[in-house]
Chains A and B, each alone.
Chain A
């Protein structure tokens, strides 16, 4: 029985090259996170990145993957992400049953950096799957194939989550949390953020400074009506719009005021802040 099955089963491995990062992503080292991350990588320890949305977590991982020369496999977690989705599954192709490696399996096989974005969004039974990979065992059991994959030294697991807005129900369990080194991310300090916005958005430094100032003011409203401050990402969007000739106030309107809230009054106050600064 096993014999026959193994004949018909074709295992499809994902090509790893598409996961390689070829151009250096722009990342501005704020404190010493780059060197610490490198140390963690050498020590083969998994890393957790905490911080609000759009503050540069993903960019950081990309930059590190590039620095370390490893492919990066990013998995955006969601409520229906199952173990199968991560590890791999059999698919019918014509008459054949073909095994497809999941992203996690691919990462382990090739010693890539596997980045689980917004990990709390994943179901608890899914998260448990990564546990054996995150301690000194560094193994991934692939039950459907009946094999245990040993992670090579190159492999690294990185997860990220935003402690701010998710509900209590979606908190990360201690048994998971305590397997990771944790990096706290926040919006970069004004000077750094100005550089980021100027570089990424392709605008002059003075425009970038204005945008950062707006960002700072709008972030003051967090908790006073806003669930989350405006992200660096949105500031960069605004900068990009401005760089392409959109009127600055309109750019801020569509990339700052409107995205972060539906509340009319709040939007209006943000607009007033925008027109105060610009």
Chain B
């Protein structure tokens, strides 16, 4: 048989002599039978592709054959053959490099590699070739044989489904393993329970289940796990993930990712809570659990942005509440979780908790209500959240505080809650005062308000006493002195020797011997402010911190001397601050120093005797500095800067001493860490320290605000809030207003539910108005005449008054006659002039929805010769006539139109404003009126009423021109829309506005009556007659 084969192949190998083939076969060595078959087979087919490749094949075969089993050898040969079909050169390369690549691998790995490549080659020769070439490197990067074998096995498993992902498994793995390495080191001996094993087990399960997700899982691991503390947590996490694998690879992957973010934000404790919630949610079905998982990272990242420093702690509390709710109902727990970032922007945790529990109560009654409640849509929900149960919310006092600081400073100021400042005002310009969104420190609203007042007074003190002032002589003097000092110090150090540790630490440079302090730009000297000066300190963070405290002290002092009354509040807050100062025993040296500084500047001296004994000298020096620079009535920010300089140097000297005494050189690092507020000490004392830090922070926030705000903050929030309704982009010049909407079923307003976009109407051609004028010229002149008659004469004579400007001659005669005859004359002898003014302001609100595009004709049988008109055009004509009439009578009037595309996009087009004259622009805007979209009548009425209310007129009239019932795609059913409109009209009436609706919908009298019944309305049967009739209706209404 062997001979036969040989002969057969020999005839195929046309270019080769028989002897060559034979000798090659001989060379193949040990087991000529099987291998011979493979070789000759492949060799033969390779010959048909390219003799060159075949040659390389034959040359390599002997070496490779030693390394591979029979099956693998066949596969290996086959891989090369398939490559050759595509690219001859690469095939040559493959064969030539094969033995070199396979040689160093273990037997098992070789086999797996060949298996993987032969899977890959079927779909992608390129991928196979790459895998093959990179195999040695990959194996090296997998650290140990065991992991490598497992990973290759996983890749092979994945390759069954997706070649692409099998490659990705291998490329993602090294990073993941590197991440896990550190944990393995910790895990030590318990190898069978190592995180690596857990992850690989899980990856394998992923691979078996869905393939593709295994790669994603590994790359997710590779993104970093360093926030996980114990190796066992990873094992736990993997175990949990495996549980979700039964619900599908995507769900499990999402679970893993979300869990990661939970642990990252809140630590192991949060993870426990969160996974309990997740399991609970999972009982409700796959869709909802996926939803929950997906939302988790987003919610958490927003939550951390809102909560800032104490995030882990507070995330935990949020999860507590969510878990509590989940035990009652999963859906509301989810809603609550979802809106937690939004709620916590304004509410304290306690408020949030109460709010959440109240919602659960509500749920027992009405599920829909509860959902709206948790989405913070309903007014009662917002009220309940804000509920003045404990603390004072900034929202409730911000207007008051704004007026207060504007009064004190005489400048335009804005009050913003901490952390929610929009991008533009990020530069702390002294215009925006950031205050905590809730203050619940003292237990009574009055006292809490006093803290607000003190904070606001401090902020306005900064304006009044020039914290942010720039370019004054004393700032420049301070700048020069400080800069010169450090300049020289640096020079000295450079000269003295470069190994100075401290210098290296301060200046953060690797390359010594270079100048590190950038030259001071002389141009900036002119506009030097405290920030520039602080940036000239070697450690500007430290300087900033000292400066902030000292400047607060200066402002405090100046406030006290300038305003007698605020002393009471300052003293009050000070006394409360003093009560809560930490004991010095609990503080590190570094903290103690700041604490002393804080107490000296803001609490009127160090309160702790123990501290005095321990740090007597430092305290004395501090006190001297403060007394030297800050305890005068005309101090400026320059004085604070000089004081900062002194304190800085003092601390610097102190530290050097400490260092030389006690070799602990990580003091600076410690302070740096403290700066960012995450000092990692024992949790107990840390928590206490945090609580301690909070109060000074309230004062110190202003100088740190700039660094703290992240841009994604508001965007993320918005995204969360308005996930379900898209807001259209605003055009330039648009104004936005928000209005509540009445929800019939809720029996409550949905707060800030509709967004009104107000813009000027597009200008059309003024031909339209000209044409209407021409067509109705007769009508117009008679209307004008009628309306001019309405215009009252400014003075009217009233006869027979008791007092007046002139005698009523007839009355005087009567008087005399009466006197002579009856002796009882009337005293009413005078004429008086009484002013009578017509005092009317009217708003026309035009429905511009697409239903007004309907064509109305009087001659339905002659559509071409007498085509009829669109309703909107008839309405426009009516407006032209109406304007003529109103110009004649002289009433103040405005015209606007509206359409809507969902609740966030209610467009309100201004056609003529009250203050505007009826000029060409207005005419062109009337011409530009056209129809689009829907009719969200309630919102439009609310806005029109709000605008009308600003008018100063005795009679305020709102005339709504509508063609039918209100409708919008998210405006509920027709009853909902009707109820909302009704409430809107009712509110307008309460505001002192007389609404009147003119409608041309004849279809449903009953509905109309329900809708407009409370206010006046009229139905125009003959739509074509609207233009002529409109002025008549108006006249009737106003006389």
Contacts and interface: CB of A to CB of B under 8 A. Distances in A.
Contact of B407 (A84, A85, A92, A269): A269
Contacts of B833: 82
A166 B742 CA distance: 39
Contacts of B835: 79
A276 interface: yes
Contacts of A275: 565-566, 568-569
A225 interface: yes
A21 interface: no
B400 interface: yes
Interface stretch (A3-11, A69-77, A215-223): A215-223
A99 to B, nearest CB: 13
Contacts of A269: 400-401, 403-404, 407
B806 interface: yes
A260 interface: no
Contacts of A270: 403, 407
Interface in A65-97: 79, 82, 84-85, 89-90, 92
Nearest to B816: A95
Interface residues of A, number: 27
Size bracket, chain B contacts? 20 to 34
A213 B829 CA distance: 55
A277 interface: yes
Nearest to B564: A278
Given A92-B829, A272-B453, A277 B565 contact: yes
Contacts of B453: 272, 276
B422 interface: no
B12 interface: no
B406 A224 contact: yes
Contacts of B412: 224
A265 interface: yes
A265 B407 contact: no
Given A217-B407, A277-B565, A268 B400 contact: yes
A265 B457 CA distance: 17
Contacts of B406: 220-221, 224
Contacts of A277: 563-566
A265 B399 contact: yes
Given A84-B806, A268-B400, A276 B457 contact: yes
Given A79-B835, A92-B829, A276-B457, A221 B403 contact: yes
B564 A220 contact: no
Nearest to A269: B403
B609 interface: no
Interface string A245-278: 0000000000000000000011011101111111
Given A221-B406, A221-B407, A277-B565, A272 B400 contact: yes
A210 interface: yes
A225 B412 CA distance: 12
B404 A273 contact: yes
A276 B400 contact: no
B410 interface: yes
Nearest to B833: A82
Residue among B400, B403, B453, B566 with most chain A CB within 10 A? B403
Contacts, number: 65
A274 B464 CA distance: 17
Interface in A215-250: 217-218, 220-221, 224-225
A89 B403 CA distance: 51
Interface string B39-80: 000000000000000000000000000000000000000000
A interface SS class: helix
Given A92-B829, A220-B409, A275-B568, A265 B400 contact: yes
A194 B569 CA distance: 26
B408 interface: yes
Contacts of A90: 807
Nearest to A275: B565
Nearest to B456: A272
A216 B793 CA distance: 45
A276 B805 contact: no
Contact of B408 (A89, A92, A225, A276): A276
Contacts of B566: 275-277
A273 B805 contact: no
A268 B806 CA distance: 50
Given A82-B805, A265-B400, A273 B564 contact: no
Contact of B404 (A79, A85, A272): A272
B817 to A, nearest CB: 14
A273 B806 contact: no
Task: Indicate the member of B411, B805, B829 with the most A CB atoms within 10 Å.
Answer: B805
Contacts of A225: 403
B565 A218 contact: no
Contacts of A265: 399-400, 403
Contacts of A274: 565
Contact of A84 (B400, B404, B565, B805): B805
Contacts of A84: 805-806
A195 to B, nearest CB: 20
A159 B410 CA distance: 31
Interface string B387-423: 0000000000001110110111111100000000000
A220 B408 contact: yes
Contacts of B568: 275
A269 B403 CA distance: 6
A192 B960 CA distance: 57
- Among B399, B404, B407, B457, the one with the most A-chain Cβ atoms within 10 Å of its Cβ is B407
Nearest to B399: A265
A236 B807 CA distance: 45
B399 A273 contact: no
B408 A217 contact: yes
Interface string B535-571: 0000000000000000000000000000111101100
B565 A278 contact: yes
A216 to B, nearest CB: 8
A220 B407 contact: yes
B407 A273 contact: yes
A276 B404 CA distance: 10
Contacts of B403: 221, 224-225, 265-266, 269-270
B563 A276 contact: yes
Which of A79, A90, A265 is most buried by chain B, counting CB atoms within 10 A of its CB? A265
Among B399, B453, B457, B568, the most chain A Cβ lie within 10 Å of the Cβ of B399
A275 B566 CA distance: 6
**Looking at A218, A272, A278, which has the most chain B CB atoms within 10 Å of its CB?**
A272
Nearest to B570: A276
A86 to B, nearest CB: 11
Contacts of B564: 210, 277-278
A14 to B, nearest CB: 19
A225 B400 CA distance: 11
Contacts of A273: 404, 407-408
Interface of A: 79, 82, 84-85, 89-90, 92, 210, 213, 217-218, 220-221, 224-225, 265-266, 268-270, 272-278
6 contacts: A85-B805, A217-B407, A220-B411, A221-B407, A224-B412, A269-B400
Given A213-B563, A276-B453, 5 more contacts: A221-B403, A224-B403, A269-B407, A273-B404, A275-B568
Query: Which 6 residue pairs of A and B lie closest in terms of their CB atoms, listed nearest first?
Result: A269-B403, A220-B410, A276-B566, A278-B565, A269-B404, A217-B407
